[in-house]
Structure 1
Amino acid sequence: MKTVLITGCSSGYGLETARYFLANGWKVVATMRRPRFDLLPASDHLRILPLDVTRPESIDRALATAGSIDVLVNNAGIGLFGAFEATPMSTVREIFETNTFGVMAMCQAVIPRFRERADGIIINVTSSATLAPFPLVAAYTASKTAIEGFTASLSHELKAVGVRVKLVEPGYGPSTRFTANGQRRMEGLITKPYESFAHEVFTGFGQISAVTTAVDVAQGVWDAANDTSDRLHYPAGADAVALVRNAEG
Protein backbone atom coordinates (compact mmCIF):
# COMPACT_ATOMS: atom_id res chain seq x y z
CA MET A 1 0.00 0.00 0.00
CA LYS A 2 1.47 3.33 -1.07
CA THR A 3 1.45 6.57 0.93
CA VAL A 4 0.80 10.08 -0.38
CA LEU A 5 1.41 13.31 1.50
CA ILE A 6 -0.76 16.21 0.31
CA THR A 7 -0.38 19.83 1.35
CA GLY A 8 -3.28 22.26 1.65
CA CYS A 9 -6.04 19.78 2.50
CA SER A 10 -8.39 22.06 4.41
CA SER A 11 -10.54 22.77 1.34
CA GLY A 12 -10.83 22.62 -2.45
CA TYR A 13 -8.45 20.57 -4.53
CA GLY A 14 -6.33 19.30 -1.65
CA LEU A 15 -9.31 18.05 0.33
CA GLU A 16 -10.85 16.30 -2.66
CA THR A 17 -7.50 14.77 -3.62
CA ALA A 18 -7.10 13.37 -0.11
CA ARG A 19 -10.60 11.85 -0.32
CA TYR A 20 -9.87 10.41 -3.76
CA PHE A 21 -6.64 8.66 -2.78
CA LEU A 22 -8.17 7.37 0.46
CA ALA A 23 -11.15 5.95 -1.44
CA ASN A 24 -8.77 4.22 -3.85
CA GLY A 25 -6.86 2.34 -1.20
CA TRP A 26 -3.83 4.55 -0.50
CA LYS A 27 -2.52 5.69 2.85
CA VAL A 28 -2.99 9.45 3.03
CA VAL A 29 -1.15 12.06 5.06
CA ALA A 30 -3.40 15.11 4.76
CA THR A 31 -1.73 18.31 5.94
CA MET A 32 -3.07 21.78 6.61
CA ARG A 33 -2.02 24.85 8.56
CA ARG A 34 -4.78 24.39 11.13
CA PRO A 35 -5.79 20.72 11.24
CA ARG A 36 -9.48 19.84 11.13
CA PHE A 37 -10.47 16.28 11.82
CA ASP A 38 -14.08 16.54 10.63
CA LEU A 39 -13.31 17.00 6.94
CA LEU A 40 -12.28 13.46 6.02
CA PRO A 41 -13.76 10.08 6.90
CA ALA A 42 -12.15 8.31 9.84
CA SER A 43 -9.73 5.67 8.60
CA ASP A 44 -6.74 3.67 9.78
CA HIS A 45 -5.13 4.76 6.51
CA LEU A 46 -5.45 8.49 7.23
CA ARG A 47 -3.26 10.88 9.20
CA ILE A 48 -4.01 14.59 9.51
CA LEU A 49 -1.00 16.72 10.38
CA PRO A 50 -0.29 20.43 10.84
CA LEU A 51 1.96 21.92 8.18
CA ASP A 52 2.82 25.47 7.20
CA VAL A 53 4.95 25.25 4.05
CA THR A 54 6.44 28.70 4.71
CA ARG A 55 8.09 27.51 7.96
CA PRO A 56 11.08 25.13 7.76
CA GLU A 57 10.53 23.81 11.28
CA SER A 58 6.91 22.95 10.41
CA ILE A 59 8.04 21.08 7.30
CA ASP A 60 10.62 19.11 9.29
CA ARG A 61 8.10 18.14 11.98
CA ALA A 62 5.46 17.06 9.49
CA LEU A 63 7.83 14.89 7.46
CA ALA A 64 9.33 13.31 10.58
CA THR A 65 5.85 12.44 11.84
CA ALA A 66 4.64 11.23 8.44
CA GLY A 67 7.46 8.71 8.05
CA SER A 68 8.03 7.06 4.69
CA ILE A 69 5.99 8.41 1.77
CA ASP A 70 5.85 7.45 -1.89
CA VAL A 71 4.29 10.59 -3.39
CA LEU A 72 4.41 14.26 -2.42
CA VAL A 73 1.60 16.48 -3.72
CA ASN A 74 2.40 20.18 -3.40
CA ASN A 75 -1.10 21.60 -3.54
CA ALA A 76 -1.03 24.32 -0.85
CA GLY A 77 -1.43 27.76 -2.35
CA ILE A 78 -3.05 31.15 -1.86
CA GLY A 79 -4.91 33.26 -4.39
CA LEU A 80 -4.76 36.90 -5.40
CA PHE A 81 -7.00 38.91 -7.70
CA GLY A 82 -6.46 42.60 -8.33
CA ALA A 83 -4.65 45.26 -10.30
CA PHE A 84 -0.91 44.77 -10.05
CA GLU A 85 -0.41 48.54 -9.82
CA ALA A 86 -2.35 48.55 -6.54
CA THR A 87 -0.77 45.40 -5.09
CA PRO A 88 1.78 46.07 -2.31
CA MET A 89 5.07 44.26 -2.79
CA SER A 90 4.59 42.79 0.68
CA THR A 91 1.50 41.02 -0.69
CA VAL A 92 3.42 39.82 -3.74
CA ARG A 93 6.06 38.38 -1.43
CA GLU A 94 3.36 36.69 0.67
CA ILE A 95 2.03 34.98 -2.46
CA PHE A 96 5.48 33.80 -3.48
CA GLU A 97 6.29 32.56 0.03
CA THR A 98 3.52 29.97 -0.20
CA ASN A 99 3.00 29.33 -3.91
CA THR A 100 6.65 29.31 -4.95
CA PHE A 101 9.12 29.10 -2.08
CA GLY A 102 6.86 26.81 -0.06
CA VAL A 103 6.74 24.33 -2.93
CA MET A 104 10.51 24.54 -3.38
CA ALA A 105 11.07 24.01 0.34
CA MET A 106 8.87 20.92 0.38
CA CYS A 107 10.70 19.51 -2.62
CA GLN A 108 14.10 20.15 -1.08
CA ALA A 109 13.03 18.44 2.15
CA VAL A 110 11.66 15.34 0.43
CA ILE A 111 14.22 14.83 -2.35
CA PRO A 112 16.93 13.21 -0.14
CA ARG A 113 14.43 10.59 1.05
CA PHE A 114 13.38 9.74 -2.50
CA ARG A 115 16.91 9.89 -3.90
CA GLU A 116 18.30 7.47 -1.31
CA ARG A 117 15.89 4.77 -2.39
CA ALA A 118 15.87 5.83 -6.08
CA ASP A 119 12.08 6.06 -6.09
CA GLY A 120 9.32 8.58 -5.45
CA ILE A 121 7.10 11.08 -7.22
CA ILE A 122 6.73 14.82 -6.66
CA ILE A 123 3.55 16.41 -8.06
CA ASN A 124 3.34 20.19 -8.14
CA VAL A 125 -0.10 21.73 -8.64
CA THR A 126 -0.07 25.02 -10.56
CA SER A 127 -2.84 26.67 -12.60
CA SER A 128 -4.20 27.12 -16.09
CA ALA A 129 -3.09 30.74 -15.68
CA THR A 130 0.28 29.35 -16.73
CA LEU A 131 -1.24 27.98 -19.96
CA ALA A 132 -2.91 31.21 -21.11
CA PRO A 133 -2.70 34.76 -19.71
CA PHE A 134 -5.57 35.96 -17.54
CA PRO A 135 -6.07 39.59 -16.44
CA LEU A 136 -5.82 40.87 -12.86
CA VAL A 137 -3.85 37.87 -11.59
CA ALA A 138 -0.35 38.96 -12.60
CA ALA A 139 1.39 38.28 -9.27
CA TYR A 140 -0.44 35.00 -8.74
CA THR A 141 0.39 33.87 -12.27
CA ALA A 142 4.04 34.77 -11.75
CA SER A 143 4.19 32.63 -8.60
CA LYS A 144 2.72 29.64 -10.43
CA THR A 145 4.71 30.13 -13.64
CA ALA A 146 7.90 30.08 -11.58
CA ILE A 147 6.92 26.60 -10.39
CA GLU A 148 6.32 25.47 -13.97
CA GLY A 149 9.90 26.34 -14.93
CA PHE A 150 11.28 25.02 -11.66
CA THR A 151 9.49 21.69 -12.07
CA ALA A 152 10.50 21.24 -15.69
CA SER A 153 14.15 21.73 -14.82
CA LEU A 154 13.93 19.63 -11.65
CA SER A 155 12.41 16.73 -13.58
CA HIS A 156 15.61 16.40 -15.61
CA GLU A 157 18.01 16.30 -12.67
CA LEU A 158 15.86 14.01 -10.53
CA LYS A 159 15.31 11.56 -13.37
CA ALA A 160 19.02 10.80 -13.04
CA VAL A 161 18.46 9.56 -9.47
CA GLY A 162 15.22 7.65 -10.06
CA VAL A 163 12.71 10.31 -8.93
CA ARG A 164 9.84 11.50 -11.13
CA VAL A 165 8.41 15.02 -11.10
CA LYS A 166 5.00 16.02 -12.48
CA LEU A 167 2.87 19.14 -13.02
CA VAL A 168 -0.92 19.19 -12.60
CA GLU A 169 -2.49 22.31 -14.11
CA PRO A 170 -6.10 22.95 -12.97
CA GLY A 171 -8.43 25.16 -14.96
CA TYR A 172 -10.84 27.76 -13.61
CA GLY A 173 -12.53 26.31 -10.55
CA PRO A 174 -15.42 28.49 -9.30
CA SER A 175 -16.27 25.92 -6.62
CA THR A 176 -12.96 26.53 -4.80
CA ARG A 177 -12.38 29.09 -2.04
CA PHE A 178 -9.86 31.05 -4.16
CA THR A 179 -11.57 34.41 -3.54
CA ALA A 180 -12.80 33.73 0.00
CA ASN A 181 -9.40 32.53 1.21
CA GLY A 182 -7.69 35.61 -0.20
CA GLN A 183 -10.31 38.22 0.64
CA ARG A 184 -8.18 40.01 3.24
CA ARG A 185 -5.18 40.47 0.98
CA MET A 186 -7.35 41.45 -1.99
CA GLU A 187 -9.06 44.39 -0.29
CA GLY A 188 -8.45 47.63 -2.17
CA LEU A 189 -6.73 45.99 -5.14
CA ILE A 190 -9.44 46.95 -7.64
CA THR A 191 -8.91 50.70 -7.76
CA LYS A 192 -11.15 53.14 -9.61
CA PRO A 193 -9.22 53.13 -12.93
CA TYR A 194 -9.70 49.35 -13.11
CA GLU A 195 -13.29 49.06 -11.84
CA SER A 196 -15.06 48.83 -15.20
CA PHE A 197 -12.47 46.44 -16.58
CA ALA A 198 -12.69 44.22 -13.49
CA HIS A 199 -16.48 44.17 -13.86
CA GLU A 200 -16.07 42.93 -17.45
CA VAL A 201 -13.65 40.25 -16.29
CA PHE A 202 -15.96 39.03 -13.52
CA THR A 203 -18.87 38.96 -15.96
CA GLY A 204 -16.78 36.90 -18.37
CA PHE A 205 -15.91 34.40 -15.65
CA GLY A 206 -19.61 33.99 -14.94
CA GLN A 207 -20.24 33.03 -18.56
CA ILE A 208 -17.65 30.26 -18.68
CA SER A 209 -19.44 26.96 -19.24
CA ALA A 210 -16.52 24.52 -19.22
CA VAL A 211 -14.96 24.77 -15.77
CA THR A 212 -12.80 22.66 -13.49
CA THR A 213 -14.13 20.74 -10.50
CA ALA A 214 -12.21 19.50 -7.49
CA VAL A 215 -12.78 15.94 -8.71
CA ASP A 216 -11.11 16.83 -12.03
CA VAL A 217 -8.00 17.90 -10.16
CA ALA A 218 -8.03 14.87 -7.87
CA GLN A 219 -8.24 12.66 -10.96
CA GLY A 220 -5.35 14.57 -12.55
CA VAL A 221 -3.19 14.11 -9.48
CA TRP A 222 -4.15 10.43 -9.37
CA ASP A 223 -3.16 9.97 -13.01
CA ALA A 224 0.17 11.70 -12.41
CA ALA A 225 0.89 9.59 -9.31
CA ASN A 226 0.26 6.35 -11.19
CA ASP A 227 1.97 7.22 -14.49
CA THR A 228 5.40 5.61 -14.81
CA SER A 229 6.25 7.52 -17.99
CA ASP A 230 8.27 10.72 -18.28
CA ARG A 231 5.17 12.80 -19.00
CA LEU A 232 5.41 16.18 -17.24
CA HIS A 233 2.14 18.08 -17.83
CA TYR A 234 -1.36 17.00 -16.70
CA PRO A 235 -4.01 19.64 -17.45
CA ALA A 236 -7.01 19.07 -15.17
CA GLY A 237 -10.53 20.15 -16.11
CA ALA A 238 -12.27 20.61 -19.44
CA ASP A 239 -11.16 24.22 -19.81
CA ALA A 240 -7.51 23.45 -19.05
CA VAL A 241 -7.53 20.57 -21.55
CA ALA A 242 -9.07 22.88 -24.17
CA LEU A 243 -6.36 25.49 -23.59
CA VAL A 244 -3.65 22.89 -24.20
CA ARG A 245 -5.36 21.64 -27.37
CA ASN A 246 -5.72 25.18 -28.71
CA ALA A 247 -2.06 25.88 -28.01
CA GLU A 248 -1.08 22.75 -29.89
CA GLY A 249 -3.06 23.95 -32.90
Structure 2
Amino acid sequence: MSTILITGCSSGFGLETAKLFLERGWDVIATMRKPNPDLLPPSERLRILALDVTDSESIADVVKNAGPIDVLVNNAGFGAPAPVELTAPETVQSLFQTNTIGTLEMIQAVAPQMRQRRAGVIINVTSTVTVKPLPVIGVYRASKAAVNAFTESLAIEMEPFGVRVHIVLPGRSPQTRFGENARPHLRGMDNADYAPLLQQFVKAVQEDTGPVTYAPDVAEAVWRAATDLSAPLRIPGGADAELWMTEAGM
Protein backbone atom coordinates (compact mmCIF):
# COMPACT_ATOMS: atom_id res chain seq x y z
CA MET A 1 0.00 0.00 0.00
CA SER A 2 1.41 3.41 -0.97
CA THR A 3 1.50 6.34 1.46
CA ILE A 4 1.16 9.99 0.49
CA LEU A 5 1.86 12.97 2.75
CA ILE A 6 0.18 16.23 1.74
CA THR A 7 0.76 19.65 3.30
CA GLY A 8 -1.93 22.31 3.55
CA CYS A 9 -4.97 20.02 3.74
CA SER A 10 -7.34 22.29 5.65
CA SER A 11 -9.00 23.48 2.43
CA GLY A 12 -8.71 23.82 -1.33
CA PHE A 13 -6.24 21.81 -3.37
CA GLY A 14 -4.73 19.94 -0.43
CA LEU A 15 -8.08 18.84 0.97
CA GLU A 16 -9.34 17.71 -2.44
CA THR A 17 -6.11 15.82 -3.11
CA ALA A 18 -6.36 14.01 0.22
CA LYS A 19 -9.95 12.98 -0.57
CA LEU A 20 -9.04 11.69 -4.02
CA PHE A 21 -6.15 9.53 -2.83
CA LEU A 22 -8.28 8.13 -0.01
CA GLU A 23 -11.01 7.24 -2.49
CA ARG A 24 -8.45 5.45 -4.64
CA GLY A 25 -7.14 3.25 -1.85
CA TRP A 26 -4.00 5.01 -0.69
CA ASP A 27 -2.81 5.57 2.85
CA VAL A 28 -3.06 9.34 3.37
CA ILE A 29 -1.27 11.58 5.84
CA ALA A 30 -3.11 14.89 5.68
CA THR A 31 -1.32 17.72 7.44
CA MET A 32 -2.53 21.15 8.49
CA ARG A 33 -1.73 23.76 11.12
CA LYS A 34 -4.84 22.98 13.16
CA PRO A 35 -6.02 19.39 12.65
CA ASN A 36 -9.74 19.02 12.00
CA PRO A 37 -10.94 15.41 11.74
CA ASP A 38 -14.31 16.55 10.38
CA LEU A 39 -12.80 17.69 7.09
CA LEU A 40 -12.19 14.19 5.74
CA PRO A 41 -14.22 10.96 5.88
CA PRO A 42 -13.17 8.57 8.67
CA SER A 43 -10.81 5.89 7.43
CA GLU A 44 -8.26 3.47 8.82
CA ARG A 45 -6.03 4.65 5.98
CA LEU A 46 -6.11 8.29 7.09
CA ARG A 47 -3.94 10.14 9.57
CA ILE A 48 -4.34 13.85 10.22
CA LEU A 49 -1.24 15.46 11.70
CA ALA A 50 -0.49 18.98 12.88
CA LEU A 51 2.16 20.67 10.75
CA ASP A 52 3.49 24.19 10.49
CA VAL A 53 5.85 24.31 7.51
CA THR A 54 7.47 27.47 8.92
CA ASP A 55 8.60 25.54 12.01
CA SER A 56 11.60 23.21 11.58
CA GLU A 57 10.74 21.23 14.70
CA SER A 58 7.18 20.70 13.50
CA ILE A 59 8.50 19.39 10.18
CA ALA A 60 10.91 17.02 11.90
CA ASP A 61 8.19 15.69 14.24
CA VAL A 62 5.73 15.05 11.42
CA VAL A 63 8.25 13.24 9.23
CA LYS A 64 9.37 11.13 12.21
CA ASN A 65 5.78 10.18 13.07
CA ALA A 66 4.75 9.61 9.47
CA GLY A 67 7.04 6.65 8.84
CA PRO A 68 7.84 5.66 5.23
CA ILE A 69 6.49 8.18 2.71
CA ASP A 70 6.11 7.14 -0.93
CA VAL A 71 4.81 10.47 -2.24
CA LEU A 72 5.34 13.94 -0.77
CA VAL A 73 3.05 16.75 -1.92
CA ASN A 74 4.12 20.26 -0.94
CA ASN A 75 0.91 22.23 -1.27
CA ALA A 76 0.86 24.61 1.72
CA GLY A 77 1.14 28.28 0.81
CA PHE A 78 -0.54 31.69 0.69
CA GLY A 79 -0.64 34.86 -1.40
CA ALA A 80 -0.26 38.57 -0.61
CA PRO A 81 -1.31 40.99 -3.37
CA ALA A 82 0.59 44.27 -3.29
CA PRO A 83 2.93 46.23 -5.54
CA VAL A 84 6.53 45.15 -4.98
CA GLU A 85 7.44 48.60 -3.61
CA LEU A 86 4.68 48.49 -1.01
CA THR A 87 5.03 44.88 0.14
CA ALA A 88 5.86 44.96 3.85
CA PRO A 89 9.18 43.33 4.86
CA GLU A 90 7.40 41.00 7.27
CA THR A 91 5.07 39.92 4.46
CA VAL A 92 8.04 39.20 2.19
CA GLN A 93 9.62 37.10 4.91
CA SER A 94 6.38 35.24 5.61
CA LEU A 95 5.75 34.51 1.93
CA PHE A 96 9.19 33.04 1.39
CA GLN A 97 9.23 31.23 4.74
CA THR A 98 5.94 29.47 3.94
CA ASN A 99 5.95 29.07 0.18
CA THR A 100 9.65 28.56 -0.50
CA ILE A 101 11.64 27.62 2.59
CA GLY A 102 8.84 25.48 4.03
CA THR A 103 8.73 23.48 0.80
CA LEU A 104 12.51 23.15 0.75
CA GLU A 105 12.68 21.97 4.37
CA MET A 106 9.95 19.38 3.78
CA ILE A 107 11.95 18.01 0.85
CA GLN A 108 15.15 17.94 2.86
CA ALA A 109 13.36 16.05 5.62
CA VAL A 110 11.78 13.41 3.35
CA ALA A 111 14.26 13.02 0.47
CA PRO A 112 16.84 10.97 2.44
CA GLN A 113 14.44 8.07 3.00
CA MET A 114 13.41 8.09 -0.66
CA ARG A 115 17.03 8.21 -1.80
CA GLN A 116 17.94 5.30 0.47
CA ARG A 117 14.98 3.22 -0.79
CA ARG A 118 15.72 4.27 -4.39
CA ALA A 119 12.03 5.09 -4.84
CA GLY A 120 9.57 7.90 -4.26
CA VAL A 121 7.86 10.92 -5.77
CA ILE A 122 8.13 14.59 -4.75
CA ILE A 123 5.42 16.92 -6.05
CA ASN A 124 5.57 20.68 -5.54
CA VAL A 125 2.40 22.69 -6.14
CA THR A 126 3.29 26.18 -7.38
CA SER A 127 1.30 28.42 -9.73
CA THR A 128 0.92 29.45 -13.36
CA VAL A 129 1.50 33.06 -12.32
CA THR A 130 5.17 32.04 -12.54
CA VAL A 131 5.03 31.64 -16.32
CA LYS A 132 4.49 35.31 -17.21
CA PRO A 133 4.94 38.70 -15.50
CA LEU A 134 1.90 40.07 -13.71
CA PRO A 135 1.45 43.16 -11.51
CA VAL A 136 0.44 43.22 -7.84
CA ILE A 137 1.59 39.67 -7.03
CA GLY A 138 5.29 40.07 -7.73
CA VAL A 139 6.63 38.84 -4.39
CA TYR A 140 4.20 35.92 -4.23
CA ARG A 141 5.18 35.07 -7.81
CA ALA A 142 8.86 35.20 -6.85
CA SER A 143 8.31 32.83 -3.91
CA LYS A 144 6.70 30.27 -6.20
CA ALA A 145 9.16 30.81 -9.07
CA ALA A 146 11.97 30.01 -6.64
CA VAL A 147 10.29 26.67 -5.95
CA ASN A 148 10.09 26.00 -9.69
CA ALA A 149 13.80 26.75 -10.02
CA PHE A 150 15.08 24.48 -7.27
CA THR A 151 12.59 21.75 -8.25
CA GLU A 152 14.06 21.66 -11.75
CA SER A 153 17.51 21.08 -10.24
CA LEU A 154 16.13 18.60 -7.71
CA ALA A 155 14.63 16.50 -10.52
CA ILE A 156 18.07 16.08 -12.07
CA GLU A 157 19.71 15.34 -8.74
CA MET A 158 17.16 12.72 -7.64
CA GLU A 159 16.79 10.87 -10.94
CA PRO A 160 19.82 8.58 -10.37
CA PHE A 161 18.19 7.43 -7.13
CA GLY A 162 14.89 6.44 -8.76
CA VAL A 163 13.00 9.39 -7.23
CA ARG A 164 10.67 11.29 -9.55
CA VAL A 165 10.10 15.02 -9.07
CA HIS A 166 7.23 17.09 -10.52
CA ILE A 167 5.74 20.57 -10.45
CA VAL A 168 1.95 20.97 -10.54
CA LEU A 169 0.92 24.45 -11.68
CA PRO A 170 -2.68 25.43 -10.88
CA GLY A 171 -4.38 28.44 -12.40
CA ARG A 172 -6.84 30.82 -10.78
CA SER A 173 -9.35 29.04 -8.59
CA PRO A 174 -12.65 30.48 -7.32
CA GLN A 175 -13.08 27.43 -5.05
CA THR A 176 -10.19 27.90 -2.64
CA ARG A 177 -9.50 30.24 0.28
CA PHE A 178 -6.56 31.74 -1.58
CA GLY A 179 -8.31 35.05 -2.23
CA GLU A 180 -9.82 35.15 1.24
CA ASN A 181 -6.45 34.49 2.87
CA ALA A 182 -4.68 36.98 0.59
CA ARG A 183 -7.11 39.87 1.14
CA PRO A 184 -5.72 40.99 4.54
CA HIS A 185 -2.31 41.43 2.90
CA LEU A 186 -3.58 43.72 0.12
CA ARG A 187 -1.64 46.98 0.15
CA GLY A 188 -1.77 50.16 -1.92
CA MET A 189 -5.45 51.08 -2.23
CA ASP A 190 -4.71 54.25 -0.25
CA ASN A 191 -1.76 55.14 -2.46
CA ALA A 192 -2.69 57.67 -5.16
CA ASP A 193 -0.15 56.31 -7.63
CA TYR A 194 -0.90 52.61 -7.18
CA ALA A 195 -4.64 52.69 -6.44
CA PRO A 196 -5.72 52.70 -10.14
CA LEU A 197 -3.55 49.66 -10.86
CA LEU A 198 -4.90 47.79 -7.85
CA GLN A 199 -8.49 48.66 -8.69
CA GLN A 200 -7.93 47.43 -12.23
CA PHE A 201 -6.38 44.22 -10.90
CA VAL A 202 -9.27 43.49 -8.53
CA LYS A 203 -11.84 44.28 -11.23
CA ALA A 204 -10.10 42.03 -13.74
CA VAL A 205 -10.15 39.12 -11.30
CA GLN A 206 -13.79 39.66 -10.37
CA GLU A 207 -14.97 40.00 -13.97
CA ASP A 208 -12.84 37.29 -15.54
CA THR A 209 -15.17 34.87 -17.33
CA GLY A 210 -12.46 32.71 -18.87
CA PRO A 211 -11.51 29.18 -17.84
CA VAL A 212 -10.44 28.63 -14.26
CA THR A 213 -8.93 25.92 -12.10
CA TYR A 214 -11.08 23.77 -9.82
CA ALA A 215 -9.73 21.84 -6.85
CA PRO A 216 -10.44 18.42 -8.47
CA ASP A 217 -8.32 19.52 -11.47
CA VAL A 218 -5.32 19.96 -9.21
CA ALA A 219 -6.01 16.70 -7.38
CA GLU A 220 -6.06 14.85 -10.71
CA ALA A 221 -2.80 16.54 -11.73
CA VAL A 222 -1.20 15.38 -8.48
CA TRP A 223 -2.58 11.88 -9.11
CA ARG A 224 -0.96 11.88 -12.54
CA ALA A 225 2.36 13.00 -11.10
CA ALA A 226 2.21 10.33 -8.41
CA THR A 227 1.16 7.39 -10.58
CA ASP A 228 2.21 8.04 -14.20
CA LEU A 229 5.84 7.11 -14.79
CA SER A 230 5.82 9.08 -18.04
CA ALA A 231 4.42 12.30 -16.50
CA PRO A 232 6.38 15.44 -17.46
CA LEU A 233 8.23 17.62 -15.00
CA ARG A 234 5.56 20.36 -15.24
CA ILE A 235 1.88 19.46 -15.13
CA PRO A 236 -0.91 22.04 -15.52
CA GLY A 237 -3.58 21.96 -12.83
CA GLY A 238 -6.61 23.39 -14.64
CA ALA A 239 -8.05 24.59 -17.96
CA ASP A 240 -6.59 28.09 -17.62
CA ALA A 241 -3.28 26.62 -16.50
CA GLU A 242 -3.12 24.59 -19.70
CA LEU A 243 -3.72 27.73 -21.77
CA TRP A 244 -1.11 29.78 -19.95
CA MET A 245 1.52 27.05 -20.17
CA THR A 246 0.83 26.49 -23.86
CA GLU A 247 1.18 30.21 -24.52
CA ALA A 248 4.46 30.16 -22.61
CA GLY A 249 5.72 27.28 -24.75
CA MET A 250 5.68 24.74 -21.92
Could you say which TM-score interval applies, normalised by the shorter chain? over 0.9
Residue identity opposite 1:64 in structure 2: K
Cα deviation code 1:77-128 (max 9, x no counterpart): 0111112211112210110000000000000000110011000000000001
Map 1:121-200 → 2, pairs under 5 A: 121-186=121-186, 188-190=187-189, 191-200=191-200
SS of residue matched to 1:134: coil
Amino acid at match of 1:240: A
The corresponding residue for 2:238 is 237
> Would you say the 8 A contact 2:5–2:72 is kept in 1?
yes
Indicate the SS of the match to 1:60: helix
Shift of 1:133: 2.0
Secondary structure of 1:160 counterpart? helix
Alignment pair present for 1:210 and 2:216 = no
SS in 1 for 2:194: helix
Task: Give the match's secondary structure for 1:182.
Answer: helix
Per-residue displacement from partner, 1:200-223 (whole Å, max 9, x unpaired)?
222222223200000110011011
State the partner residue of 2:76. 76
8 Å Cα contact 2:69/2:110 also seen in 1: no
The answer for the alignment partner of 1:220 in structure 2 is 221
Cα distance in 2 between the residues matched to 1:141 and 1:159: 27
SS at match of 1:223: helix
Q: Deviations over 1:162-204 (max 9, x none)?
A: 1111000000112211122233333x44333222222222222
Within a 5 Å distance, the mapping from 1:98-109 to structure 2 comes to: 98-109=98-109
Match of 2:34 in 1: 34
User: Which AA in structure 2 matches 1:212?
Assistant: T
RMSD between aligned alpha carbons? 1.3
Paired residue secondary structure (2:5): strand
- Report the secondary structure of 1:52's partner residue: coil
Give secondary structure in 1 for the equivalent of 2:168. Answer: strand
Give the gaps of 5 or more residues in structure 1.
Answer: none
User: Is contact 2:79-2:178 (8 Å) kept?
Assistant: yes
- Contact 1:81/1:189 (CA < 8 Å) preserved in 2? no
Q: Deviations over 1:147-170 (max 9, x none)?
A: 001000010011011111100000
Q: Distance in 2 between matches of 1:236 and 1:185?
A: 25
Shift of 1:14: 0.5
Partner of 2:14: 14
| Structure 1 stretch displaced more, 112-121 or 126-135 | 126-135
Give the length in aligned residue pairs.
Answer: 248
Letter in 2 for 1:214: A
